[in-house]
Amino acid sequence: MKLIIHGGFFSESSQSHETKKAKQDALERIVKQSYEYLKNHTALETIVYAVEQMENDELFNAGIGSQIQSDGKIRMSASMMDSVTERFSGVINIEDVKNPIRVAEKLFTYDDRVLGGEGAISFARKNGFEKFSTEIPQRRKEYEEKVAAQGTGTVGCVALDAKGNIAAATSTGGKGFEMPGRISDSATTAGNYANAFCGVSCTGVGEDIVSASVATKIVTRVTDGMSIKAAFDRTFAELKPYDGFAGAIAIDKEGNVYHQDSFPKMVFASFDGTNFETFD
């Protein structure tokens, strides 16, 4: 069993050492709790559990603590996929829910599995997700000052369970001050993808990740026989012509855990029951 999570990027210029330590501590707590959960649950159940914990922590730009868009509203996106069914479900630009990943989970068994905007909100309300404001004072202050002090960020999880099944989930509160209607990579297969060979969750600038189809390319290359490192190296090389801003975490079917970013530092943590790793 293996588990890796990410919490977006850490900006050395705009965040204090106290914030860095807080994020490291939060990631360690969440990855270890989620690993314990994985012992008795599937990879699919575990990725939702882990991402929900990060959505509930205002240190991260997903769920509580999400960025505010240019019109003063918060719109979030989240998705999930697993290697058993190869189903993908997600919500795009959903508003006023506490945990977008749980709405994506609810959609997983439906025929129409990716919903956006008002459709996503309506589906959430009809399925018992109460109205909840994820805005925190810090985000309002940043919005009013037009300064995105938390930087580019998203949260995600990739898990390999005891049966060898892989699943990936990603959730974001956006990049901040974006145009209403903008769609990030987080609820697309460019930013979140899994099959029987590999699972990937991305963070960074959504437009760059979509342009490079980062998650899909990495998984496809591993499926076609590349090592996970080689798949990452080739995919990230394809970001260089336009200075693409991206980070990704992954686990392959052999249990190899990997992470890479084009602009340090992506915050992450991995755990396999014995070995713990996090960002410096």
Residue 248: in which H helix or E strand, if any? strand 246-252
3.30.70.20, 3.30.360.10, 3.40.50.2300, 3.60.20.30: CATH of 2-278: 3.60.20.30
pLDDT of residue 171 exceeding 70, the answer is: yes
How far lies 214's CA from each of 25, 189, 200, 230, 239, in Å?
28, 9, 9, 13, 9
- Kindly give, in sequence order, each residue whose CB lies less than 8 Å from that of residue 36, ignoring residues fewer than 6 positions away: none
Domain ranges of the chain: 2-278
Q: Give the model's pLDDT for residue 148.
A: 39
User: What count of other Cβ atoms lies within 10 Å of the Cβ of residue 146?
Assistant: 9
pLDDT digits (tens, 9 = 90+) for 8-33: 988 655 677 888 899 999 999 999 99
pLDDT of residue 220 exceeding 60, the answer is: yes
- Higher-confidence residue of 240 and 147: namely 240
Give the integer Cα–Cα distance in Å for 163 and 71: 46
Q: Give the model's pLDDT for residue 149.
A: 43
Whether the CB-CB separation of 221 and 253 falls below 8 Å is answered with: no
Whether the CB-CB separation of 155 and 8 falls below 8 Å is answered with: yes
pLDDT digits (tens, 9 = 90+) for 193-208: 999 999 999 999 999 9
Give the integer Cα–Cα distance in Å for 56 and 248: 21
Give the integer Cα–Cα distance in Å for 215 and 138: 31
Tokens 């080739």 appear where? 234
pLDDT of residue 150 exceeding 50, the answer is: no
Tokens 């959730």 appear where? 171
Q: Give the model's pLDDT for residue 151.
A: 47
- Kindly give, in sequence order, each residue whose CB lies less than 8 Å from that of residue 229, ignoring residues fewer than 6 positions away: 258
At residue 126, what is the residue type? K
Q: Give the model's pLDDT for residue 197.
A: 98
Q: Give the model's pLDDT for residue 227.
A: 98
How far lies 150's CA from each of 19, 104, 146, 171, 176, in Å?
10, 25, 12, 16, 9
pLDDT digits (tens, 9 = 90+) for 72-110: 899 999 999 999 999 999 999 999 999 999 999 999 999
Catalytic site positions: 154
Q: What are phi and psi of 204, to 5 degrees?
A: 130, -150
% of residues, the chain, pLDDT over 90:
80
Give the integer Cα–Cα distance in Å for 150 and 229: 29
